[in-house]
Chains A and B, each alone.
Chain A
């Protein structure tokens, strides 16, 4: 029997995924990655978030219900090193990172996969809505959007290597979320009514600014708000409090609504301007990972997503170097944000992606 390590969060998706794998005849071992300090004082537990602290108890209950072995594995040190340190460093560079992407390719399908292999497992499975298949001719592993368009999670998996994909299973890719909720209810899983989670698991109150101030040894320094021409508009409490397109919490009174259009870590400035200037015609990205092919050799017409929740839009992607690309949108896009991922598609096929370095206005 093929052994699979199922990453369980206690939520509906990974719970039903575990049940599906069992039905398909796999030898399933449930695992929850403990990634954050479990020694918080009693009463600080929070609900929601894919990796919330309450998750272990829910996941254990599901594993018991399914009758599978279940382990909590401690990944606090690598999570801190690979995900949180990166998250904080990016904010300090004036960028807005997506820690889930890093967690997937450098923790779940790295440290957890290694652990799984050492336990005699062949695959690590997750509850992501994405479809994996193998190209008959090239032998490459491909990822397609989950068939539930509203739930597709291919965006956060663009960083997986071919080897990682070879050892991954995504049992939910061929299902609609409604169907999964129904199956959870049919299985009598208590989690059937839990809301979907999207927040960043290690910042329960979603106050990133405060989290970074408390976590980082580097002081977050106040700086200036400026307009695109360099005129000083006021003072801010540190660039880590801002992201591109932000309007709230600026504390600046002007005749027109102002938005963050650029963050300049070198001068510690936050550039504010009108809504018009929040739009970008294109972007430059690096840290590329291609899934459908090994390298982009010539320009291509594609659809791109510039953040997890964005709708795919038409664009042209052109190689600059082997690890740098330029993207030109057919129509200007709002709030193209350095640090976020740009992910490319052709229809439901995910081509790959990279990290946004710069927007062109």
Chain B
């Protein structure tokens, strides 16, 4: 069976050039970067170079602002818990959004239990945050704002720079989870006016198990992994040298081809969206039509459970997702879609397709051929669809 991969927001294949760059750091150059001998120094050098590359790619002031971590989730945890702990005496109020990834969302829930007050900024029906809402939520106890750059489910791109501007005037720390955007759209910490930024290598054709937290110089942040002086005492543990080298290489390659990939992937995305909306009724596109990542598509097929759709597609060789890969297996409808005011029934019928640079129009045509059959079959079994079609009812209205 032909296999088609439309789940690039979950993860991406590692670029061959990245693998080539990583290979020497497994067996050949294996020293511990903290060792003072030649073997160690050789690997220290590799990390230093990678740090310089990453700093440059992100527009950071200096390499020391780059902390290598084990994942995007770890970077998010470090940013929130690290600042909360360091600035606890200054205030206990943190602002985030209603549609963050669980790495932020659940960390905020944890901090609430520790006595912090969290404000969850709502989003519009299109999945966008209004910077004014952030401004209005600020209090003299606010120590940190964390708003994601691009959403992992619906791909909406938030007005980070605008929020950054109003926070910088007030000297309030600003973190953004840029795990989905880095490598897909331009990301520059100075243009975005953020103090902290999380990213993860495997989302842009790099290896799994390595991420970055950018921390602007002078930002107070406590460490949570103790036991060594790695990463300037901010994250103990022998470095994942091959992973770090791979991350830097992947970031360089992704940014190098960014403009061209953005154009081709956006074209494919628009073609897919238009054709699905044209060929199938009772389907809606979730998230803003234009302020979204080039590869992200999120549909709700009314009167269908997303899970059934997903499994049926898998059995036809098409890999998609019903939301974040981190929450699959849970039947709770997505908090992102609910946050956008979409009702339970329709949130249940969501399907996320995330395109990457290797996808082709032929693959999309195959998908467009298979999808209507599946949708018709599933709707044929749905009593809701039957009665809705007879009543010509639109199914669901905004609940908020």
Complex formed: what's the CA distance from A360 to B118 in Å? 63
Contact A119–B331 (Cβ < 8 Å): no
Inter-subunit contact A119/B329 (CB<8 Å): no
Contacts A120-B312, A120-B315 hold; do A38 and B381 have CB atoms under 8 A apart?
Answer: no
Does A117 interact with chain B (Cβ within 8 Å)?
Answer: yes
A38-93 interface (Cβ within 8 A of B):
38, 69, 71-74, 76-77
**B308: CB under 8 A from chain A?**
yes
Cβ-Cβ contact count across A and B, 8 Å cutoff: 29
Q: Report the bound CA distance from A114 to B383 in whole Å.
A: 12
Bound complex: CA of A44 vs CA of B141, how far in Å? 39
CB pair A118 B329 closer than 8 Å: no
Residues of A within 8 A of B311 (CB): 71, 119
| A69 pairs with B314, CB closer than 8 A | yes
- Known contacts: A69-B315, A118-B377. The answer to whether A74 contacts B308 by CB under 8 A is no
Q: State whether the Cβ of B65 lies closer than 8 Å to any Cβ in chain A.
A: no
Neighbour of A118 across the interface among B312, B314, B330, B331, CB < 8 A? B312
Closest partner residue, chain A, to B331 (CB atom): A74
Is the pair A38, B312 in contact by a Cβ cutoff of 8 Å? no
Interface digits, B324-360 against A, CB 8 Å rule (1 contact, 0 not)?
0000011100000000000000000000000000000
Q: Is the CB of A74 within 8 A of B312?
A: no
Q: Which of A29, A74, A117 contacts B330 (CB 8 A)?
A: A74
Q: Looking at the complex, which one of A73, A77, A117 makes contact with B381 (CB distance below 8 Å)?
A: A117
Q: Inside 8 A of A114's CB, which chain B residues have their CB?
A: 381
Contact of B315 among A72, A73, A119 (CB under 8 A): A119
Question: Cβ of B4 < 8 Å from any Cβ of A?
Answer: no
Is residue B100 within 8 Å, beta carbon to beta carbon, of the partner chain?
Answer: no
Contacting pair B307 A73 (CB below 8 A): yes
- B53 at the A interface (CB under 8 A): no
In the complex, are the beta carbons of B315 and A29 less than 8 A apart? Answer: yes
Q: Is B276 an interface residue (CB 8 A)?
A: no
Q: In the complex, A76 Cα to B308 Cα: how many Å?
A: 16
A114 CA to B378 CA in the complex, in Å?
Answer: 10
Report if A153 contacts B (CB, 8 A). no
Cα-based distance from A29 to B308 in the complex (angstroms) = 14
Which residues of the partner chain B approach A74 to less than 8 Å between Cβ atoms? 307, 329-331
- A34 within 8 A of partner (CB): yes
Q: In the assembled complex, which residues on chain A have CB atoms less than 8 Å from the CB atom of B381?
A: 114, 117-118
CB distance from A331 to the nearest CB of B (A): 50
Contact across chains for B330 and A119 when beta carbons are under 8 A apart = no
A115 CB–B CB distance under 8 Å: yes
- In residues 83-129 of chain A, which contact B (Cβ within 8 Å)? 114-115, 117-120
> Which residue, of A69, A115, A118, has the highest number of chain B Cβ atoms within 10 A?
A118
- The interface centre, meaning the residue of B311, B314, B381 with most chain A CB atoms within 10 A of its CB, is B311
Chain A nearest CB from B378 CB (Å) reads 6
Residues of A within 8 Å of B308, CB to CB, are 115, 118-119
The answer to whether A34 touches B377 (Cβ under 8 A) is: no
Docked CA distance A120–B378 (Å): 10
CB of B106 to closest CB in A, whole Å: 11
Instruction: Give the shortest distance, in Å, between A20 (CB) and chain B (any CB).
Output: 21
Residues of B within 8 A of A34 (CB): 329
Interface centre among B312, B331, B378, B381 (most CB of A within 10 A): B331
**Residues in chain A near residue B307, CB distance under 8 A:** 73-74
**CA–CA, A38 and B312, complex, Å:** 24
Cα A119 to Cα B374 in complex, Å, equals 9
Within the complex, what minimum Cβ distance (angstroms) separates A109 from chain B?
Answer: 16
Q: Which of A69, A72, A114, A120 has the most CB of B within 10 A?
A: A120
B302 to chain A, nearest CB (A): 16
Identify the closest chain A residue to B332 (Cβ). Answer: A74
In the complex, which of the residues A72, A115, A117 contacts B329, with contact meaning CB atoms closer than 8 Å?
Answer: A72
CB distance from B384 to the nearest CB of A (A): 13
Q: Which B-chain residue is minimally distant from A29 (CB atoms)?
A: B315
**Chain B residue, CB-CB nearest to A76:** B331
**Minimal Cβ-Cβ distance residue in A for B380:** A118
Q: How distant is A79 from chain B, measured CB to nearest CB, in Å? A: 11
- Cα A71 to Cα B312 in complex, Å, equals 11
Which residues of chain A are within 8 angstroms of B378 by Cβ–Cβ distance?
A: 118
| Distance to closest chain B CB from A2 (angstroms) | 14
Give the chain A neighbours of B312 by CB distance below 8 A: 118-120
A77 to B332, CA, bound (A): 10
Encoded as 1 (CB less than 8 Å from any A CB) or 0, chain B from 233 to 276 comes to 00000000000000000000000000000000000000000000
List 17 additional contacts besides A74-B307, A74-B330; criterion CB under 8 Å: A29-B315, A34-B329, A38-B329, A69-B314, A72-B329, A74-B329, A74-B331, A76-B331, A115-B308, A117-B381, A118-B312, A118-B377, A118-B378, A119-B308, A119-B311, A119-B312, A120-B377
Chain A contacts to B: CB under 8 angstroms: 29, 34, 38, 69, 71-74, 76-77, 114-115, 117-120
Between-chain CB contacts (< 8 Å), 20 pairs: A38-B329, A69-B314, A69-B315, A71-B311, A72-B329, A73-B307, A74-B307, A74-B329, A74-B330, A74-B331, A77-B331, A114-B381, A115-B308, A118-B308, A118-B312, A118-B377, A118-B378, A118-B381, A119-B312, A119-B315
Report the 10 A-B pairs with minimum CB-CB distance, sorted nearest first.
A74-B331, A118-B308, A118-B381, A118-B378, A119-B311, A72-B329, A71-B311, A119-B312, A74-B329, A119-B315
